[in-house]
Chain A
Amino acid sequence: MKYINGRFYLEPISAHIDVTNKCNLKCIYCFYYEDPYVQLPDRDPSKDEILDWMEQLAEIGVKFLTFSGGEAFMRPDFLEILSSETSENFWKVILTNGILLDEQTVEELENVPKLLELRVSLDGFDANKKVRGVDAKVIIQNIDLIGKMTDLAVHINTMITTENLHELEKMYEWIEQHEAISGWAIDLPIVRGRYISAMNALRPSWSEMAPVLKRLILRYIDERPPFKLAIFSIFRESLLYPNKIKDRIYSFDLESHPCSYLPSVTIRTDGSVTLCPSLPFSIGNIRERPLRDILESPDPGSERVLRIRIRDIKKCSNCRYVKICGAGCRANAFLETGKLIEVDSITCKMMEFFESEILPHLPRKSRELIGEYLT
């Protein structure tokens, strides 16, 4: 994907496939179910269909593949898909709730070629039961199993809610000690699906959240524990190692498309193709025409998303953070305001917090590197 200022075309190197609509949990913030933007199909794609989609992805040069759902392991044939000849074309990540990772499954996973990591959702210890409906012990037991039986890497995905804010520091200590866990990502649920009605009760206020996140980050900077930490819009472990990232990052300009993840494409269970799992706009359907055609000539109406430029979001044009945040996330903006061309106020708040509370604590070279992006 060439994706330099002012110019892009859809040539993904990475993809995300939802392999099933089925899930064995009923998380109260789930974006996938009861979503007003997407009507889920009655049936899942067949194994042959998914393998065909994977073949098409390989043909256009996609190298990375993320599997999700629903819960991907609810498919009885999921391990067959992972172990197929087509699957060998991709480095793979699986997003899972971890419940079905029993001994036999873990054993088979170890033999899956090019499996980079498992991203397992865990929202705390006591809080997990309240929010996700399953005792955290079940998930932890399965992650322990992975550590004992295999060399697979596990990454924990946590969504912040009012229920688990007080447990994040305890999670930090557990993750730090765990032999299988190499990463922890903390995010806010997006305003889709069940979260639309649950948000008022579940979303902590910024004044509740900010001190907890700051403590976690400063502790991480101080201790440099053996896992990679990422917190939505304000921190990533790589910021501590400026020499590692200085040649990898570049800036937006006002002619850029605002999305950071254009080199990726998502295929939903109904075959619809979207730019990311969060933004509910299809650019075509792989059941109706080949993926290559869709990427070369997206469905009419897709320009609503594809032609956005940062300069279109006028309030962002003169902002001192625009070269860092690229006018924020279009999914956030759309889901919070109903408009694609609108300020993403969540990212605005995060940028201010990042500059005042986090940036001063980063290494000098990191501060200098990031300082070049402030206008």
Chain B
Amino acid sequence: MGGDYKIQRFEKRLAQAWTEVDGEKFVGVTLKGHLANHNNADPFLMEF
């Protein structure tokens, strides 16, 4: 199993998940949202 497969598999699913969100309802995250990374913070928003 190729190494990149692991990330691609996850990102493909994540991208599919985000297609269900109304673009009008969500415009992006802050750089802090990207960096904060608390283990119990929202995993979907962190991975956006």
Within 8 A of B (CB), among A28-66: 31, 61, 63-64, 66
Residue of A95, A119, A158, A326 touching B30 (CB-CB under 8 A): A326
Q: Is B29 within 8 A of A260, CB to CB?
A: yes
Within 8 A of A (CB), among B1-48: 1-7, 9-10, 13-14, 17, 20-22, 24-48
Q: Which chain A residue has the least Cβ–Cβ distance from B2?
A: A226
With A13-B25, A93-B44 as contacts: A373 and B38 at CB distance below 8 Å? no
A233-B14 Cα distance, complex, nearest whole Å: 22
Q: Which chain A residue has the least Cβ–Cβ distance from B27?
A: A4
Query: Which residues of A are found within 8 Å of B32, using beta-carbon distances?
Result: 233, 252, 260, 324-326
With A64-B44, A116-B14, A264-B45 as contacts: A2 and B27 at CB distance below 8 Å? yes
Query: Which residues of A are found within 8 Å of B13, using beta-carbon distances?
Result: 91, 116-117, 153
Query: Which residues of B are found within 8 Å of A179, using beta-carbon distances?
Result: 1, 6
Query: Which residues of A are found within 8 Å of B31, using beta-carbon distances?
Result: 249, 251, 323-324, 370, 373
A227-B41 Cα distance, complex, nearest whole Å: 19
Taking residues whose C-beta sits less than 8 angstroms from the other chain, chain A's interface range is 35 or more
Q: Is B37 within 8 A of A230, CB to CB?
A: yes
Q: Is A228 within 8 A of B7, CB to CB?
A: yes
Query: Which residues of A are found within 8 Å of B29, using beta-carbon distances?
Result: 248-250, 260
Instruction: Give chain B nearest CB distance to A296 CB in angstroms.
Output: 15
Q: Is B28 within 8 A of A13, CB to CB?
A: no
Known: A13-B22, A153-B13, A326-B32. 19 other contacts (CB 8 A): A14-B45, A66-B43, A116-B44, A151-B9, A157-B39, A179-B1, A185-B39, A187-B37, A232-B37, A236-B34, A247-B28, A249-B30, A249-B34, A250-B29, A263-B45, A264-B44, A264-B45, A278-B40, A323-B31
Q: What are 26 A-B contacts with C-beta separation under 8 Å?
A: A2-B25, A4-B27, A13-B21, A13-B44, A93-B44, A95-B40, A182-B10, A183-B10, A185-B37, A186-B37, A187-B37, A225-B3, A226-B6, A228-B7, A232-B37, A233-B36, A236-B35, A248-B48, A249-B28, A260-B33, A261-B42, A263-B45, A278-B40, A325-B35, A326-B32, A329-B38
